[in-house]
Structure 1
Amino acid sequence: MTLGFLFPLACLVFLFRPAAGDPQTYHLGFGCSSYNATNATLFIADLNATFSNLRTRISAGNTLSATSDDPRSSVPLYALFFCRSYLSQVDCLSCLSDAVSRVRICGAASGGRAISDGCTLRYESAPFYDQGTLPGNTAKCANGTSAVAGFSEVVHGLVEDLSSGVPRIAGYSAAAERDGVYAYAQCAQTLSEDVCGKCLEVSYSNVQGCLPADGGRAVDAGCFMRYSDAAFFPANQTVDLAHILEGGSGKRLTVLEGVFGGLGGVFILALLALLWIRKSRSGDHEWKGDILGEMDLQGPVKFRYRDLKSATKNFSQENKLGEGGFGHVYKGTLKNGNTVAVKRLAIAQKESTKASFQSEVKLISNVHHRNLVRLLGCCSKSNDLLLVYEYMANGSLDKFLFGKSNELLSWKQRFDIIVGMARGIAYLHHEFHACIIHRDIKPSNVLLDDNFLPKIADFGLVRLMPGDQSHLSTKFAGTLGYTAPEYAIHGQLTEKVDTYSFGVVILEIISGRRNSEPKLEPVNHYLLEWAWNLYEEDGLEQLIDKSLNPEEYNLKEIKRFIKIALLCTQSIVAARPNMSDVVVLLLSQDDPELEPSRPIFFESSCRTRGDISVSAWSNSATHATVSVTQISAR
């Protein structure tokens, strides 16, 4: 091959690079991990070096994507950045700057992501380069309606062809135009062809939900899809999708092969050689491990009723694990030998409930966090609505705290349970794409696996209760003694309701006693009131469970946890920290700078009509008693 042939070919490639001037920084998605680095200063310095490394690789390598996983001194850092393939390098670098400025808001969070029209940036403290679709995948829809004839049908066919064709293209990206519709699809180059295909399948499904809107985007961890009735990429960037799709499922094609499908083989080989040289200079590399494994996000498994009936021995009393406000739970052994927990929902069998069951369960099944119980699948038959969860061998936390188990929890175990719970709740509030407020945080809703890892149960189920049509519905669904007063009395629901409940549970874990113990002397009846009195008297050591070995815990650490609990249960809602901040406070070695204000506590008694007497502390020393009728505690 002569240099005389390569020179005009190189010029041709240059001409197909778009002009600078539109980095497409319209914001689509942003998120921060609920985990924080222990040494924030050192971590942020390492993170800045990682961002600088990405910029250097983009600039020096003349590429639009880069990874960075150089060893760091604080915690491991893995970063991935990629621009849409139709951007110029100048615009790509501009998009990187915008993305970096956004994720800096995450501070010392161990993970962060920023997605815009023009680029995707993500960093984590664990390898993730092989991840395609993850919880949080969603669609972003425009507000207008297109005047293009047959617009929805054209979009449907075009994005379907892109989702099928892009995984076969080296570079995993393609732009196309058809009958006045413009569309683009892209996967991270670190993915395998199969993972790219699955990611785009989810994106294809999501983006169709925008129709008949005149524009839509599908945002996911490892891929991106967009359509519009207005051009958003240069005309010379389109590919011949028909040629690509005719190439067969086993053939990998390049984008420029799609553009120049009719040219001779020598021309294509020469072009591939040039692209290979450019790629080899970029410094990019794939992650070659399967550290995290592939996640199945195709919705919950649909179990057959007769299989679950057999697995639980016809929902026998012998297999019953417990019961709660949403129904009874049974231990089940499936035909493959796996042990599961089957929850038989006790909710009104209205048509509206049945209609929403599948969609709500799909939402819950996409929640993945090590401190949240995993929903494996569901079953709906006649009047039975069944949920299938992973089985937790050690049962619920309350039996270890309140005398139902002969095994005592050490302070190390209690420490890990408190921190794990905080991380799980923070994920529901701030990390999942839909904010889920649990509303019923208590020890019986915290399950423990073989290693006493805490997993919160029953999150999201309140949406299945009749009349509840929103994640932020004010329908009361809590347990008195754990429920924040503003929610129980006035129906005021925010994430801080869970913060309050979590604060009460911290006190129960540390003291080993329930939040209300009428058998004790009056001054100690209510745990929260007792804890506050001890805090004011500087006698918090009296709150610690006597079964704990003083040689196995740090008194200063436990006092810090009690103070955090009191911060969580303050009467002023805005004064309570959010759960992401609570995680930081728990893992910090320093005492919280803020001082808690006087909390609110409940005095609940079951009367004939189910009335609830609520005693609330004001900021003065006086007490006010309010009678709240017909609030049913579960």
Structure 2
Amino acid sequence: MAPRFLLLALVVVVAASAWAPVTFADPQATLLNLGCSQYNATPASAFLAALNATLADLRANLSAAGGGFATAAQPRATAPAFAMAQCRPYVAGRDCVVCFDAAAARLRAACGAANGGRAILDGCVLRYESAAFFDQSTLPGNTQLCNGSAVDVGGFADAARALVADLAAAVPRVPGLAAAAARDGVYAAAQCVEAVGEGGCAQCLQVAVGNIDGCPPDSDGRAVDAGCFMRYSDRSFFPANATVDLAEYLRSGKSSHKGAIIGGILGGIAFLFLVGLSIFLLIRRYRKLKPRRGDILGATELQGPTSFYYHDLKAATNNFNEKNKLGEGGFGDVYKGLLKNGKTVAVKRLIVMETSRAKAEFESEVKLISNVHHRNLVRLLGCSRKGSEFLLVYEYMANGSLDKFLFGERRGTLNWRQRFSIIVGMARGLAYLHQEFHVCIIHRDIKSSNVLLDDDFQPKIADFGLARLLPDDHSHLSTKFAGTLGYTAPEYAIHGQLSEKVDTYSFGVVVLEILSGRKSNDTRLEPETQYLLEWAWKLYESDNLIALVDDTLDPEEYKPEESSSPQGPLLLMQQVECEEKHPLPVHLLPPRPLYQFLSFQPGERH
């Protein structure tokens, strides 16, 4: 798909150039910055399909609107995609589309199935991500690009710094958040992404001024960031009629003597700050203009979670009121919280040992967890810390945990199709943790209460990555391993052998619970007060696996051979795989009868 898209994009670029009249303006397609996420989207085919749709929408909007800015999204896709494109105010019409096509072709060629990418060209910027990013202004990775020979005549360096400073002050007030200006032999322009707003624009351009300050007296300098772009040159790079009178946007309106004094003081402080900053930045002045890779900003970088104020989360949960409690377990109690912005979240309270090492490990692990994004894994939104107490903020799942639907107050409400969809979704989530994230994460505590259901009863695995954070004296088992009796693989419980197979075993136990509606470690249920695994084994030996099926299920909803045949689970999973057109994780498919899938072998007892 990607090569075909790339060929199409290149054809469009060539065709657009061929159709252009001789007066066709310069699309300014020089590449300044190119970055791709280090993580691949999953499933890749679904993400690429969504990305294709968003890029097509962007191109259509740029062609029709003529405004030079567009966003597009496929938020409800299997693998969501969000994209944004913006052309400089002096690169319009077909020039804008040509620049967009060049950026799209470069991203396709460089990024493949990466879940994020950004190309900054002189004339435009194109960025896509697997999560919304439109309001991001300045992020780590902002940089300068200095080019050309030194210009020492006529105070060029001072004039360039003065003009870009005026642009930084004026552009946040200019309609469209973009302006070009010429003064004292200097040509300069500044632009912000329209979605960042006036405040985000001002913040981004201040960072840009600090970056570009290291370029003069070079004849050409640029500053690039997630939400803005700035350039100056000793040669014009925009039409004469594209300039904006900055004077009216630099006026402060009502002034006073007091305001002048405050302004002077702040200006002096800013000047001293810029002087110190410029000394540092001058070290980088010899960096010449060339494409850069690996600077991609935003959600594709390994960033930490959002920091919340402890008192805000305390207020959101009504002082951790028992009425707000959603559940409790070995990793801590979970409370429903309502943030000031009206968003409902789940807040988990953890107790971590008060040692510098424990806190450092906690922060490192939480940073890792916050970068795990998958439709079948609960998203960590942020965190807070107060003393030995840590708060983790997760997305809220309205339907709660799976165990409530299997053997709790809502038992019998899940039909067969929903149950199987949950099995497949769990498998996908575990496969991502084991094989597709950039490091292997072993959950170690897969159980039905750690599987949450969204509004559409799609499963999301919770508490992954937390097992290593448990202090020894807060383990929820008498033994010093992370897991729950009844779900834990024997080789892990007895010998401490930890691998992905530990999660695969636990996943198999949950599959049995979903099929039977019985809890794995509850002996109070009939028949014969047996544990679930013992019962399943006896049913297999007597060739009566159909008796395992939950009696609350409608017999018309499923075929007996899907449960009683040794290859039934495999055949059914393959059937769903074909229907959904997404490959299932091989290491979670049962290639043998279900009892072997659960690590049982004939004649063995576990």
TM (norm. structure 1) is 0.51
Contact 1:393-1:449 at 8 Å conserved across structures: yes
Distance 1:590 1:336 in 2: 38
Matching of residue 193 in structure 1 with residue 186 in structure 2? no
Question: Deviations 1:124-169 (Å, cap 9, x if unpaired)?
Answer: 8x9x7x94249xx964489x9xxxxxxxxxxxx9999988765445
What residue in structure 1 maps to residue 534 of structure 2? 525
| Candidates 577, 580, 584, aligned match of 1:587 | 580
| Candidates 73, 90, 93, aligned match of 2:101 | 93
Q: CA deviation at 1:446?
A: 2.0
| Candidates 310, 317, 320, aligned match of 1:302 | 310
Aligned runs of 1:129-144 on 2, under 5 Å? Answer: 131-133=134-136, 139-140=140-141
Distance 2:332 2:394 in 1: 14
What residue in structure 1 maps to residue 126 of structure 2? 120
Aligned runs of 1:194-343 on 2, under 5 Å? Answer: 197-198=199-200, 223=227, 236=236, 246=250, 299-303=307-311, 307=315, 311-312=319-320, 322-329=327-334, 342-343=347-348
Specify every segment of 5 or more residues in structure 1 that has no aligned partner in the other structure, as ranges: 1-13, 107-111, 145-156, 177-182, 251-296, 468-474, 568-581, 605-614, 626-634
Contact 1:375-1:390 at 8 Å conserved across structures: yes
The one-letter amino acid of 2:105's match is: S
Aligned runs of 1:482-493 on 2, under 5 Å? Answer: 489=496, 491=498
Contact 1:300-1:375 at 8 Å conserved across structures: no
Q: 1:49 to 1:459 in 2, by over 3 A?
A: closer
Identity among equivalent pairs (%): 40
Distance 1:376 1:78 in 2: 19
- Report which of the two structures shows the higher radius of gyration computed on alpha carbons: 2
Distance 1:372 1:160 in 2: 46
The one-letter amino acid of 1:115's match is: R
Which one has the bigger helix percentage? 2
Give the SS at the match of 1:525: helix
Specify every segment of 5 or more residues in structure 2 that has no aligned partner in the other structure, as ranges: 1-21, 146-161, 182-187, 215-220, 255-304, 473-479
Contact 1:54-1:66 at 8 Å conserved across structures: yes
Contact 1:80-1:121 at 8 Å conserved across structures: yes
Q: CA deviation at 1:425?
A: 6.1
Q: 1:27 to 1:103 in 2, by over 3 A?
A: closer
Q: 1:398 to 1:25 in 2, by over 3 A?
A: same
The one-letter amino acid of 2:403's match is: D
Q: CA deviation at 1:450?
A: 7.2
Contact 2:402-2:451 at 8 Å conserved across structures: yes
Give the SS at the match of 2:31: coil
Distance 1:477 1:116 in 2: 44
The one-letter amino acid of 1:300's match is: F
Q: CA deviation at 1:350?
A: 1.6
What residue in structure 1 maps to residue 446 of structure 2? 441
What residue in structure 1 maps to residue 570 of structure 2? 563
What residue in structure 1 maps to residue 278 of structure 2? none
Distance 2:585 2:51 in 1: 26
Contact 1:523-1:530 at 8 Å conserved across structures: no
Q: 1:484 to 1:173 in 2, by over 3 A?
A: farther
Q: CA deviation at 1:345?
A: 1.5
Distance 2:166 2:436 in 1: 32
TM (norm. structure 2) is 0.52
The one-letter amino acid of 1:547's match is: T
Question: Deviations 1:602-622 (Å, cap 9, x if unpaired)?
Answer: 999xxxxxxxxxx786xxx89
Matching of residue 512 in structure 1 with residue 521 in structure 2? no
What residue in structure 1 maps to residue 15 of structure 2? none
Distance 1:387 1:501 in 2: 25
Contact 1:503-1:564 at 8 Å conserved across structures: no
Distance 1:323 1:429 in 2: 26
Distance 1:123 1:492 in 2: 32
Contact 2:189-2:232 at 8 Å conserved across structures: no
Contact 1:377-1:387 at 8 Å conserved across structures: yes
What residue in structure 1 maps to residue 272 of structure 2? none
Q: 1:427 to 1:398 in 2, by over 3 A?
A: same
Q: 1:499 to 1:92 in 2, by over 3 A?
A: farther
Q: CA deviation at 1:549?
A: 0.7
| Candidates 449, 458, 467, aligned match of 2:463 | 458
Distance 1:372 1:444 in 2: 14
Aligned runs of 1:348-363 on 2, under 5 Å? Answer: 348-354=353-359
Q: CA deviation at 1:546?
A: 3.1
Distance 1:484 1:233 in 2: 69
Contact 1:163-1:200 at 8 Å conserved across structures: yes
The one-letter amino acid of 1:587's match is: E
Give the alignment's Cα RMSD to 1 decimal.
7.0
What residue in structure 2 maps to residue 28 of structure 1? 36
Which has the higher mean CA deviation after the structures are superposed, 321-330 or 198-207?
A: 198-207
